[in-house]
């Protein structure tokens, strides 16, 4: 099997006609628990996965940036002096947006050398595993090194987010970049979205004989944009009516009062966020005190909350989660923004193939398209290879 790093080096040489001087990589991520809590300034617990985006880089004599990707035919080229967020288009807005975002954190675009970048990846694009954070984090780390900026990883996560918000125009939080830059082998990243404090939490999956199966339903997020906006609006309304800055400021004990003050729908949206924050805290504590065998119920409860209270699941995700639970998984939940995308199941490694057969069968029986399934392991964050 050819290695993605070799592919990137080869692609670089073929595209630019000289050898790359270095290779950097950054992983995609999956969120173990903590959904729609980020913009409510709460808690999330993602992990970096063993699928990576690789950047091969070579310095140039002039002051031009060129970027190419194994996924795209055209090479994008722009003088450093012309890097403006509004001018960047298509996939190249991700890497070029990162170069611009670095200038907002101290890089002097009038002084740094031009670079050629070639990007290759085995992170599935658009499957909810954050190929976008992987490309941003790999490029941010690479440019931070060769431009000798000395920015720390938390700042590089902000750089990736700024690129995605301003250059790409996607209003995303900082979870994905934090996982991609701060993740460690067999561990998750516990992130406080208010303070941006993060802690690495050991998962201990391998020692426990457990694995995480991704079940990508292939259902596209057709209501994703509208549904996401509507959920955010409900959360803001709930916070305002309850007199708090964000839903982060509420605890499970506040829910009784919330029920009397809010309409039923807003109450259920609020209840999801408040209980989900508590489940993230409980998952971190359970991992530390009892190990990963004990978190299954929290994953199941998270799914039920998204299905019934936040109403962002779809029948395919519910079926994947139910079938996993009935066939040996310790817990399962949809992951990501909802309205499609993927579910995760935590299961004994020996039960994974049985699980896959059962899920395939259940999808066929319901007339749903075949899901893509693969095991992921918790991997290390961005590195120079």
Answer with the entry of Mg ion, ligand ADP, none that 207 interacts with (C-beta below 5 to 8 A by kind): none
Minimum CB separation of residue 39 from ligand ADP in Å reads 16
- Pull the structure tokens for residue 9: 């080096």
Q: 335, 331, 323, 325: which is closest to 359 by C-alpha?
A: 323
Minimum CB separation of residue 128 from ligand ADP in Å reads 5
Choice between 92 and 149, CB closer to ligand ADP = 92
Choice between 53 and 277, CB closer to ligand ADP = 53
Indicate whether 147 belongs to the interface with ligand ADP (CB under 6 A). Answer: no
From the list 116, 120, 176, 309, the catalytic residue is 176
Choice between 144 and 172, CB closer to ligand ADP = 172
Minimum CB separation of residue 125 from ligand ADP in Å reads 5
- Contacts with Mg ion in 123-162 (CB under 5 A)? 130, 132
Indicate whether 48 belongs to the interface with ligand ADP (CB under 6 A). Answer: no
Answer with the entry of ligand ADP, Mg ion, none that 69 interacts with (C-beta below 5 to 8 A by kind): ligand ADP
CA distance 203 to 174: 22
Minimum CB separation of residue 109 from Mg ion in Å reads 26
Answer with the entry of ligand ADP, Mg ion, none that 327 interacts with (C-beta below 5 to 8 A by kind): none
Choice between 74 and 308, CB closer to ligand ADP = 74
Active site residue 197: no
Indicate whether 71 belongs to the interface with ligand ADP (CB under 6 A). Answer: yes
- Which is it for strands 331-335 and 43-59: parallel, antiparallel or unpaired? unpaired
Burial class (CB in 10 A: 0-12, 13-18, 19+), 369: exposed
Choice between 130 and 266, CB closer to Mg ion = 130
- Contacts with ligand ADP in 84-143 (CB under 6 A)? 91, 94, 119, 121, 125-126, 128-132, 135
Nearest residue (beta carbon) to Mg ion? 132
Minimum CB separation of residue 172 from ligand ADP in Å reads 7
Indicate which single residue of 15, 37, 40, 53 sits in contact with ligand ADP (rule: CB under 6 A): 53
Spatial neighbors of 203 by CB under 8 A, at least 6 apart, are 47, 186, 187, 188, 287, 292, 378
Minimum CB separation of residue 96 from Mg ion in Å reads 17
Q: Residues 326-365: x/- map of binding to Mg ion (CB under 5 A)? A: ----------------------------------------
Say how many residues touch ligand ADP, by CB under 6 A. 16
Choice between 103 and 165, CB closer to ligand ADP = 165
Do residues 384 and 24 make contact, with C-beta atoms less than 8 angstroms apart?
A: yes
Minimum CB separation of residue 268 from ligand ADP in Å reads 27
Residues interacting with Mg ion, by CB under 5 A? 130, 132
Residues interacting with ligand ADP, by CB under 6 A? 53, 69, 71-72, 91, 94, 119, 121, 125-126, 128-132, 135
Q: Which residues are catalytic?
A: 176
């Amino acid at each position: 099997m050819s290695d993605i790093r070799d592919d990137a080096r080869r692609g670089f040489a073929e595209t630019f006609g000289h050898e790359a001087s270095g290779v950097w990589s950054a992983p995609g991520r999956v969120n173990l628990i903590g959904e729609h809590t980020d913009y409510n300034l709460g808690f999330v617990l993602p992990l970096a996965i063993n699928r990576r985006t690789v950047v091969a880089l070579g310095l140039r004599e002039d002051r031009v940036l060129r970027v190419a990707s194994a996924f795209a035919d055209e090479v994008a080229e722009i003088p450093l002096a012309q890097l403006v967020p509004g001018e960047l288009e298509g996939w190249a807005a991700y890497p070029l947006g990162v170069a611009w975002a670095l200038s907002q954190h101290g890089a002097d675009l009038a002084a740094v050398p031009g670079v050629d970048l070639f990007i290759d990846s085995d992170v599935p694009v658009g499957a909810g595993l954050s190929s976008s954070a992987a490309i941003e984090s790999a490029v941010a780390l690479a440019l931070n090194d060769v431009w000798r900026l000395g920015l720390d990883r938390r700042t590089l996560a902000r750089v990736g987010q700024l690129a995605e918000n301003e250059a790409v125009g996607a209003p995303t939080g900082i979870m994905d970049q934090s996982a991609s830059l701060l993740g460690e082998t067999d561990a998750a990243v516990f992130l406080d979205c208010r303070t941006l404090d993060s802690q690495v939490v050991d998962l201990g999956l391998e020692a426990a004989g457990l694995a995480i199966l991704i079940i990508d339903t292939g259902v596209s997020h057709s209501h994703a944009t509208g549904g996401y906006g509507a959920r955010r609006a409900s959360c803001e309304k709930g916070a305002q009516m309850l007199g708090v800055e964000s839903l982060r400021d509420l605890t499970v004990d506040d829910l009784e009062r919330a029920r009397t003050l809010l309409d039923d729908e807003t109450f259920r949206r609020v209840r999801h966020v408040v209980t989900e924050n508590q489940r993230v805290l409980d998952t971190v504590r359970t991992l530390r005190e009892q190990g990963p065998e004990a978190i299954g119920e929290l994953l199941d409860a998270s799914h039920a909350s998204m299905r019934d209270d936040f109403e962002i699941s779809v029948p395919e995700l519910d079926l994947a989660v139910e079938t996993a639970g009935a066939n040996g998984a310790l817990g399962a939940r949809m992951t990501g923004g909802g309205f499609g995308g993927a579910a995760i199941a935590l299961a004994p490694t020996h039960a994974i193939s049985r699980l896959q057969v059962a899920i395939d069968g259940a999808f066929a029986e319901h007339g749903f398209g075949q899901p893509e399934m693969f095991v992921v392991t918790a991997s290390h964050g961005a590195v120079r290879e």
